[in-house]
Homo-oligomer: A and B are copies of this chain.
Amino acid sequence: MTALERSLWGWGHAQRFPDLEARRAQGELFQAALGFAIGEPAAPAALDEIQIAKPRVPVPAELEAFTRSDLEARVLHAQGKSYRDLIRGFHGRFDNPPDFVVSPRSEAEVERTFDWAAGANVAVVPFGGGTSVVGGVECPLPPGRRGVVTLELSRLSRVLEIDDVSEVARVQAGALGPVFEAQLQSAGFTFRHYPQSYTHSTVGGWIATRAGGHFATGRTRIDAFVESARMLTPIGWYESQRFPSSGAGPSPDASLVLGSEGTLGVITEAWLRVQRPPKFRARASLGFSSFHEAAHAVRSIVQAGLQPANCRVLDPVEAQLNQVTHTGDAVLLLGFESTDHPMSTEVQRAVELAQAAGGRLSGPVRETSTGPTEEADRWKQAFIDAPYLQNVLVSCGVIADTFETACTWSRFEALDRGIRARVGKVLEEVCGAGVLTGRITHAYSDGVAPYYTFLAPGRGGAELEQWEAVKEAASSTLADLGGTITHHHAVGRVHQRHYSKERPVVYGEAFRALRARLDPSGLLNPGVLEAQ
Contact = CB atoms under 8 A, between A and B. Distances in A.
Given A341-B304, A408-B168, A250 B244 contact: no
A406 interface: yes
A362 interface: no
A64 interface: no
A242 B482 contact: yes
Nearest to A218: B305
Given A247-B259, A250-B257, A304-B340, 14 more contacts: A163-B408, A165-B408, A166-B408, A167-B303, A238-B505, A240-B507, A244-B449, A247-B484, A248-B491, A248-B499, A249-B511, A250-B259, A275-B445, A306-B340
Contacts of A248: 259, 484-486, 490-491, 495, 499, 502-503
A346 B341 CA distance: 9
A448 to B, nearest CB: 7
A518 B514 contact: no
Nearest to A300: B340
Nearest to A513: B517
Nearest to A222: B247
Sorted nearest first, the 6 A-B pairs with minimum C-beta distance are: A244-B447, A304-B340, A513-B517, A254-B254, A252-B507, A244-B444
24 contacts: A165-B408, A166-B447, A168-B408, A210-B247, A211-B247, A236-B506, A239-B504, A243-B407, A243-B483, A244-B407, A245-B406, A245-B487, A246-B484, A246-B487, A248-B491, A249-B511, A252-B503, A256-B506, A256-B510, A273-B445, A273-B446, A303-B339, A305-B341, A510-B518
Contacts of A517: 509-510, 512-513
Nearest to A244: B447
A516 to B, nearest CB: 7
A339 B484 CA distance: 29
Contact of A409 (B165, B305, B485): B165
A511 B251 CA distance: 11
Interface string A183-196: 00000000000000
A442 interface: yes
Q: Which of A241, A261, A442 has the most CB of B within 10 A?
A: A241
A209 interface: yes
Contacts of A254: 250-251, 254-255
Interface in A467-500: 482-491, 495, 499
Interface in A393-447: 406-410, 442, 444-447
A513 B511 contact: no
Contact of A506 (B338, B488, B502, B518): B518
Contacts of A323: none
Given A340-B349, A408-B168, A510 B255 contact: yes
A258 interface: yes
A252 B220 contact: no
A71 B511 CA distance: 42
B445 A243 contact: no
B212 A242 contact: no
A449 B449 CA distance: 32
A387 to B, nearest CB: 18
Contacts of A245: 220-221, 406, 442, 444, 447, 449, 487
